[in-house]
Amino acid sequence: MGFASGRRFGGTGCSWTPRGHSVNEGRTILIIEDDPFLLFTLSAYLEDSGFTCLRAADGEAGLEAFAAHRPDLVVTDLRMPGLDGLEVVASLLREAPGFPVIVLSGASDMATAKQALDLGARLCLAKPVADLAVFENTLRDMLPRQVPQGPGGTRLLGE
């Protein structure tokens, strides 16, 4: 019995992974959020779920982290001092067209959220994030799929 139950219930059903491994292992998410509590909460939950998280407290630091580390997905707040989320989305997608970017928006930011989607963000999620398991599943669904290739690593589905 070399497997541990890793059941997570939600939109994607339940799954299992070999003991010591995570379906999220090796995946990196950059979170750009100026609220330190939310930044910590989201990143801590995702790290506990097997992701590697990069944290940035503002848009400029987020763009620097993106350039230096090339994460698999970016989650950015829309309203931040300095470089706001719209500028972050536009800059990221100029540099990496089609890259998966998710924006976080308060209820009063729906017009701005629509602008972010028009710029190419894949999804807008409402703040506050009410269910972290649903948040994790949503992010996982937005990531490019990987399948084992054998001892040499992984490849993207469709390659």
Gap between the Cα atoms of 74 and 121, Å rounded: 10
Evaluate if pTM is beyond 0.85. Answer: no
For residue 23, name the pLDDT band (cuts at 50, 70, 90).
Answer: low
25-142 carries CATH number 3.40.50.920 = no
Domain limits, the chain? 25-142
The answer to whether 60 and 71 are in contact (CB under 8 A) is no
pLDDT digits (tens, 9 = 90+) for 76-99: 999 998 999 999 999 999 999 999
Contacts of residue 130, defined as CB under 8 A and 6 or more positions apart, other chains included, come to: none
pLDDT of residue 151: 54
Gap between the Cα atoms of 54 and 27, Å rounded: 11
Report which residue type is found at 59: G
Gap between the Cα atoms of 156 and 41, Å rounded: 30
